[in-house]
Amino acid sequence: MLSFKKALVASLAVLTLFFLFRNHHSSNSPAPIRNANDMPKPAMLQPKKPDPPKPTPSPEKADDAFNTVDTPKKPKMQISLDELHKKPLKDQLEYQFPYDVDSKFPAYIWQTWKYTPAQGEFKEEFREAEASWSIHHPTFVHEVITDNVAVYLIRHIYASVPQVLEAYNALPLPVLKADFFRYLILLARGGIYSDIDTSALKSAADWIPSDVPSNSYGMVIGIEADPDRPDWADWYSRRIQFCQWTIQAKPGHPVLIDVVANITQETLKRRDAGKLTKDHKGIIEFTGPALWTDSIFSFFNNPDYFDMSTSKGNITWEHFTGMKTPKKVGDVIILPITSFSPGIKTMGAGEADDPMAFVKHNFEGM
């Protein structure tokens, strides 16, 4: 007979082997199947894992060829309106509309016309072009501002800068006010302005190379004209002309400060001299692409924004003629002529199906 102690040891050994075998068996046994949906599926019927998203193809890397310094951020000190109005106009505008290159581009699309698309008088030939902007930018706020609404909008936004309101109201022609409005709305609200007779070919998200950080630039412009011919001055006002039918900007950009201040001061000067008339001939020089181009070049050569110590000279039209890919100068990206002027069949512009074609201008006029 086994002694009590031996029997106890034997019992413990048996129990230990039982638990070890049970745990090993459970770890290799499949979980119980509760219904048909729980049954393992053959490999060919198992859902495929989605492929990782491919990077969006983009144009070649922008040419960051020019030495620049960061646009200084000026702390906004609270001052009274009386004190503000004693300052130069540019200082007033900078105070009211501070610039921050680190901010996102506002998701606005601004256009102007005599009527909105909801009105029967809206031209049929504009409907497809106007709709293209919403189709390519479904998450953007897209506004077509009528001439009548523009007056009240500018009055509201620029109430604290009365000189701007005076100038806007003094302009004698709708085309002058339309030019001025695009700069005013972009300065105050940012986003994209584009003429009503333009068609979006691609989303603005595809305009800029993917390797350019969005916090490194605050304005996107395109080349309107690059007339490489001896008689260029007979056809255009500048050897390189930047287009202003489509502009993307963050609020408060220094170029917009400059162009709004220049138009305001020149308008009031002409008004006070009795030279602001409806038969004004110099629209291009006054509010149009010539003034716009001059303001951009003035910015590119401004030592407040660019390190001129290593510069070999001013940035001129020669830096942009014949370009086929984007260039980045400071916080401004310049797109080649194909981007906003495809299909014009001159000056090296590609067709509307070119990978660099983003906006098509239909030249329907005002």
User: Is the pLDDT assigned to residue 93 strictly greater than 90?
Assistant: yes
Q: Which residue has the tokens 């509201």?
A: 156
Mean pLDDT throughout 282-302? 91
Residue 1, pLDDT score:
45
Which amino acid type is present at position 204? A
- Structural domain boundaries in the chain: 81-361
Which amino acid type is present at position 263? I
User: What span, in angstroms and rounded, lies between the C-alpha atoms of 15 and 75?
Assistant: 79
User: Is the pLDDT assigned to residue 173 strictly greater than 70?
Assistant: yes
Q: Report H helices in 105-244.
A: 124-136, 147-157, 162-170, 174-189
pTM for the complete prediction? 0.80
Query: What is the SS3 assignment for 171?
Result: coil
Length of the chain (residues): 366
User: What span, in angstroms and rounded, lies between the C-alpha atoms of 243 and 288?
Assistant: 9
Residue-wise pLDDT for 30-87, tens only, equals 333 333 333 343 343 344 444 443 343 344 444 444 444 445 555 566 777 777 787 8
User: Is the pLDDT assigned to residue 21 strictly greater than 80?
Assistant: no
Residue-wise pLDDT for 159-169, tens only, equals 999 999 999 99
Which amino acid type is present at position 115? Y
Residue 19, pLDDT score:
46
Are 306 and 68 spatial neighbours (Cβ–Cβ below 8 Å)?
Answer: yes
* Strand-pair category, 191-194 with 246-249: antiparallel
Residue 9, pLDDT score:
47
Taken in order 343, 325, 134, 107, the sign of the CA dihedral is negative
User: What span, in angstroms and rounded, lies between the C-alpha atoms of 7 and 1?
Assistant: 10
Query: How far is Cα of residue 135 from the mean position of the Cα atoms in its chain?
Result: 16
Which amino acid type is present at position 134? S
CATH number of the domain located at residue range(s) 81-361 in this protein: 3.90.550
User: What span, in angstroms and rounded, lies between the C-alpha atoms of 103 and 191?
Assistant: 12
Residue 76, pLDDT score:
61
| 53 contacts: CB under 8 Å, gap ≥ 6 | none
Q: Which residue has the tokens 């068996």?
A: 25
Greater pLDDT, 2 or 336: 336
User: What span, in angstroms and rounded, lies between the C-alpha atoms of 335 and 354?
Assistant: 13
Residue 202, pLDDT score:
97
Residue-wise pLDDT for 321-361, tens only, equals 999 999 999 999 999 999 999 999 889 899 999 999 999 99
Give the containing element (helix H, strand E) for 279: none
Greater pLDDT, 21 or 188: 188
Nearest to 328, CA basis, from 60, 118, 104? 60
Residue 269, pLDDT score:
94
Q: What is the mean pLDDT of the chain?
A: 82
Residue 275, pLDDT score:
86
**How many C-beta atoms lie closer than 10 Å to residue 192's C-beta?**
25
Residue-wise pLDDT for 253-288, tens only, equals 999 999 999 999 999 999 999 988 776 567 778 899
Query: What is the SS3 assignment for 297?
Result: helix
Residue-wise pLDDT for 109-127, tens only, equals 999 999 999 999 999 999 9
Q: Which residue has the tokens 């500018």?
A: 154
Mean pLDDT throughout 148-156? 95
User: What span, in angstroms and rounded, lies between the C-alpha atoms of 295 and 302?
Assistant: 10
DSSP-assigned letter for residue 206: G
- Give the pLDDT band of residue 103 (cuts 50, 70, 90): very high
Nearest to 106, CA basis, from 216, 201, 218, 184? 218
